[in-house]
Amino acid sequence: MTTPFGSYELTRFPEDPRDQLRAWDAADEYLLRHLDAGTGDHGPVDLSGAGQITILGDRWGALTTALAAYHPVQITDSYLARAGTAANLDRAGIGTAKSTVRLLTTQDAPPERIDVLLVRVPKSLALLEDQLYRLAPHVHAGTVVVGTGMVKEIHTSTLKLFEKILGPTRTSLAEKKARLIFCTPTATSTRAVDPWPVTYTLDEDAGSGAGLTAVNHAGIFCADRLDVGTRFFLQSIPNNTNGARVVDLGCGNGIVGTAVAVADPKAEIVFTDESYQAVASAKATFRANVQRERERADFLVGDGVSMLDPGSVDLVLCNPPFHSHQATTDATALRMFAQSRKVLRPGGELWVVANRHMGYHTHLRRLFGNSEVAASEPKFVVLRAVKQEERPRPM
């Protein structure tokens, strides 16, 4: 990536030489050109004397790496984006020393005062709303607020959120299908209350989740209701886990793992997701439904189940994503399946719910040597794969 601030070799995380997707796009480039002192159709921003710079939603560290000389704070909901940023900073010879760049999550306290706020517009409008509410008390009338995104990512509703939460908002002309957002914060002592997280009770059609309370922080998939895939999954997952160690992989709000914990108090549940908002949701959902004395649960933010020991798990339950930001891809799901096979003990099972057209049965059969349909409907299918005992190769 070539910018006014230098040229950088950037990759996504985890790095995969087969991945054809770039770690930056035209929206990142447009914002960096605007920030270059002496340019920009809405006036330059002198970063050298700008004060505290906060970058929200930087996807793989392109903005943070290019602006590292100005000691920014990055805030992200994504473990993978955070790890990718750290790797790209290291590749650029910058590192993540506290004196250079601070990497925070959406669950961390933001900087006390923000003088420049740069926003990479996320796919989730709810996450943008939540984060603007969280950051609003830390901006001031002189704060420079600039957002960026591809034209297809910026809608009237996006601009209305900036306007409602921070102040008057306008957009730039489009360049290479990217657009900038300019917002002028309005000093006010009374701001609206952040509506997140939201809480709701599952109805009787939710299978083993019926009657449970779900707590959803902003940004998770279907944050204001139970998505139809998870609803179907809850009607299909095993009812008796017999004290097993169970992983809710890509846990979202954690309702699947919580349903297992309620049905089997002896089960040990591991909730894991790459989203800090999701794991916070899972923890809140679990606390709302499971008595403290029955707790046997871990809540982990990371890359799938890569942090678990091989052969340490009895059952993995997974509703995998098929998007990486705006890109449609099965790469994340396939990595989850491979990781699951590694951490399952012989005889352990992986259960997956997915849109039928994804064709995951082929991948599971190739990986596990078997795959069967545990439940199906016109749109969704639940697949079950069993890890076989590995036979030693003949000498």
Average pLDDT, the chain: 91
Number of domains in the chain: 2
CB 276 within 8 A of CB 105: yes
Which range marks the domain in which residue 22 is found?
2-183
Tell me, yes or no, whether 395 lies in a domain: no
* Whether pLDDT at 385 is above 70: yes
Dist. CA 191–CA 129, nearest whole Å: 13
The phi, psi pair for 30, rounded to 5°, reads -60, -45
Digit-coded pLDDT (tens) for 234-271 = 999 998 899 999 999 999 999 999 999 999 999 999 99
Digit-coded pLDDT (tens) for 39-98 = 444 556 778 888 999 999 999 999 999 999 999 999 999 999 999 999 999 999 987 665
Give DSSP secondary structure letters for 343-378: HEEEEEEEEEEEEGGG-HHHHHHHHHS--EEEEE-S
E strands present in 194-310 = 198-201, 213-216, 245-249, 268-273, 297-301
350 shares a domain with 213 = yes
302 shares a domain with 164 = no
| pTM exceeding 0.75 | yes
CATH of the domain at 243: 3.40.50.150
- Other C-beta atoms within 10 Å of 258: how many? 28
Task: Looking at the chain, list the stretches that DSSP marks H as alpha helix, in order from N- to C-terminal side.
Answer: 26-35, 62-66, 79-91, 125-135, 156-165, 228-234, 255-263, 276-289, 331-343, 360-368
Digit-coded pLDDT (tens) for 269-320 = 999 999 999 999 999 999 999 976 566 899 999 999 999 999 999 999 999 9
Which pLDDT score is estimated for 97?
Answer: 62
**How far does Cα 246 stand from its chain's mean position?**
22
33 shares a domain with 104 = yes
353 shares a domain with 245 = yes
Dist. CA 3–CA 332, nearest whole Å: 29
